Amino acid sequence: MSEQTATAPVVQRVDARHRYEILVDDERAGLTAYRDRNDQRVFFHTEIDDAYAGRGLAAILVEQALTDVRASGMRIVPVCPYVAKYLTKHLEFADITDPVTPEVLTWLDARLGR
């Protein structure tokens, strides 16, 4: 299938795996992983598969994930460097963004078994 006839990317939240996935033509092209801490969604990792690099998919993925966080009435904690960088350019999410604190990092490490 050529890029011109490819379908638009689809972002879906996969609660059982604690992540949002972006699909291109029904294939997973990337993900952004999170853990929920009370009313905070702590994002800690974002990746796009090499085969899909350079298409702006990470920005689409993170924008839709953060929009979902807002719709869910939660707050964002950007431990993931990509999410943190995205937020510096997209101030529309500033009102629901909490700082990364040592307490959050310790909590996240414990949740991830690190």
pLDDT value of residue 7:
80
**Mean pLDDT of all residues belonging to the chain:** 94
Give kind and range of the element (H or E) at residue 63: helix 57-71
Give the three-class secondary structure for 18. Answer: coil
Residue 74 gets which letter from DSSP?
Answer: -
Give 6's pLDDT tier (boundaries 50, 70, 90): low
- For residue 77, give the nearest of 48, 38, 111 by alpha carbon: 38
Give 22's pLDDT tier (boundaries 50, 70, 90): very high
Give kind and range of the element (H or E) at residue 14: strand 10-14
Question: What tens digit of pLDDT does each residue of 26-47 get?
Answer: 999 999 999 999 999 999 999 9
Question: What tens digit of pLDDT does each residue of 57-94 get?
Answer: 999 999 999 999 999 999 999 999 999 999 999 999 99
Whether residue 22 contacts residue 10, with contact meaning beta carbons closer than 8 Å, is answered with yes
Whether residue 78 contacts residue 87, with contact meaning beta carbons closer than 8 Å, is answered with yes
Q: What percent of the chain has pLDDT over 70?
A: 95
Give the predicted TM-score (pTM) of the model.
0.92
Whether residue 77 contacts residue 32, with contact meaning beta carbons closer than 8 Å, is answered with no
Whether residue 111 contacts residue 60, with contact meaning beta carbons closer than 8 Å, is answered with no
